[in-house]
């Protein structure tokens, strides 16, 4: 791919990452594909503005970037949201709130980690009270890199997430449900006795959709 002259540098990397996104989902039935298609057209976003990413979230809804044309619109409460955008670093204290918000969302639900702080700690890599890898505590579906990413990058992330939903790939919420003990163990390691109450996730143990 690097020998092609239609892309260079990070563009080629981006294409390699997105190469699988355009493939047709052969494993889904007609009805499932229809449902998946309608789901990806309508994403209600719960913006969890922790760090500087909150500033990049707001322009998305304005006339200039207009995320509504992709069916992306803000949701008032976690109960109505489909996508949780974690925009920036998470302190240990905010992680607890993120977990509670995430567990209140109705399935299917997705998480976008925005910026390098949410991916590997970023500039807070050696901080004592910052979460380094959000993916260890709640399942992340899509990463948007940058410090901070532009709103266009975030729209790219949403578009990639929509492709993923359209193809019916198992979302992070299924991973969370299957590996709930692992996630809870990780959460307990940083939060200690300060864990969120059981009733927000105990239905995961009941099996199936409660």
Contacts with another protein, residue ranges (CB under 8 A): 35, 38-39, 41-42, 44, 61, 63-64, 66, 68-71, 73-82, 104-108, 203, 209-210
Cα–Cα distances in Å, from 71 out to 2, 132, 140, 155, 157?
A: 35, 31, 21, 11, 14
Q: Which is nearer to another protein, 56 or 82 (CB)?
A: 82
Q: For another protein, which is the closer residue by CB, 79 or 93? A: 79
Which is nearer to another protein, 10 or 199 (by Cβ)? 199
Measured from the CB of residue 143, what is the shortest distance to another protein in angstroms?
A: 24
**How far does CA 90 lie from the centroid of its chain?**
14
Cβ nearer to another protein, comparing 13 with 66: 66
Can you read off the two tokens belonging to residue 98? 């993120």
Minimum Å gap between C-beta 139 and another protein is 16
Nearer to another protein, 1 or 73 (CB): 73
Least separation in angstroms between CB 52 and another protein: 21
Cα separation, 114 vs 105, in Å, equals 19
Instruction: Please write down the HEC assignment for all residues of 82-102.
Output: CEEEEECCEEHHHHHHHHHHH
CB-nearer residue toward another protein: 108 or 146 = 108
């Amino acid at each position: 791919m690097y020998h092609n002259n239609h892309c260079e540098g990070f563009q080629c990397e981006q294409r390699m990452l997105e190469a699988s996104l355009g493939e047709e989902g052969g494993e889904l039935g007609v009805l499932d594909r229809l449902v998946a298609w309608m789901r990806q057209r309508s994403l209600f976003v719960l913006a969890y503005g922790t760090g500087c990413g909150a500033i990049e979230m707001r322009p998305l809804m304005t006339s200039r970037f207009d995320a509504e044309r992709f069916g992306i619109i803000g949701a008032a409460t976690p109960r109505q949201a489909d996508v949780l955008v974690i925009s920036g670093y998470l302190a240990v204290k905010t992680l607890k709130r993120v977990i509670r918000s995430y567990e209140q969302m109705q399935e299917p639900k997705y998480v976008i980690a925005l910026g390098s702080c949410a991916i590997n700690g970023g500039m807070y890599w050696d901080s004592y009270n910052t979460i380094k890898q959000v993916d260890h505590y709640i399942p992340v579906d899509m990463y948007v890199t940058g410090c901070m990413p532009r709103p266009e990058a975030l729209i790219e992330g949403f578009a990639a997430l929509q492709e993923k939903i359209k193809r019916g790939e198992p979302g992070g919420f299924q991973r969370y449900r299957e590996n709930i003990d692992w996630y809870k163990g990780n959460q307990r390691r940083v939060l200690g006795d300060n864990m969120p109450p059981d009733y927000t996730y105990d239905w995961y143990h009941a099996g199936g959709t409660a």
